[in-house]
Amino acid sequence: MRLFRPSEARPLPPPMFTMRQEHELILKDDRSLKEADQACLCEPARKKILIVEDDASTRFLVRQILKCAGYDTLEANDGEAGLRMATEEMPDLVLVDGLLPRMHGFLVCKAIKALPNPPHVIVLTAVYKKITYRWQVKSEYGADELLVKPVCAAELISCIEKVLSEPEIDTPAFALGSNEHAAAAPRSFQVKA
């Protein structure tokens, strides 16, 4: 290691700013930081979406799509857990599969829509593909939309944005009838082998 002698020491470059100019720059940067903080406070909160799906790989794919689109996600792997999370976590939207263990997806939708200030609900199905099912799921179970699987990422995000942008309408609460069992599929949606 080579040491410099005082006579060899290189002079420091002249300061780029005077002390006063530096102080003004610091104050200016501080103001711009405060303005940026205020802008962050004004940004709307990220929307929270609950994914109720029993297939782990489908949950994973949907979660990745939603995170890339800027949404926060929650997950449940059966109907009862989905209903419990919808009640406790109060998401902005629920994506629920039509066929779920422990509680049918359409009944989960109906029970969620019976909550005070219910979230939006989109039902996903690979079985109930007829146009009459879309009307039935919306009118009888209160779903905001029905999407048929497989659904592409762009279609899913487009549907979510459309549903979330719709104003909340005060509709009569849907409740489970006394003769409907939560774990059974609705009679009109029974799949015949």
**Cα 87 to Cα 141: distance, rounded to the nearest angstrom:** 17
131-141 helix and 105-113 helix, angle to the nearest 10 degrees: 40
CA distances, 22 to each of 11, 36, 61 (Å): 21, 21, 51
Once rounded to an integer, what is the mean pLDDT over residues 165-184?
A: 51
pLDDT at 72: 95
Please give the DSSP secondary-structure letter assigned to residue 115.
Answer: S
**Cα 85 to Cα 51: distance, rounded to the nearest angstrom:** 10
**Cα 76 to Cα 86: distance, rounded to the nearest angstrom:** 10
What are the tens digits of pLDDT across the range 11-34? 555 555 555 555 554 455 445 445
**Cα 98 to Cα 96: distance, rounded to the nearest angstrom:** 6
The C-alpha torsion from 53 through 56 and 62 to 66, rounded to 10°, is 100
76, pLDDT greater than 80: yes
What are the tens digits of pLDDT across the range 104-132? 999 999 999 999 999 999 999 988 887 77
139, pLDDT greater than 50: yes
What's the one-letter identity of residue 79?
G
Least confident of 3-7, 63-67, 121-125: 3-7
Phi, psi of 132 (to 5 degrees): -65, -30
Structural domains of the chain in order of their starting residue, each with its CATH number: 48-167 (3.40.50.2300)
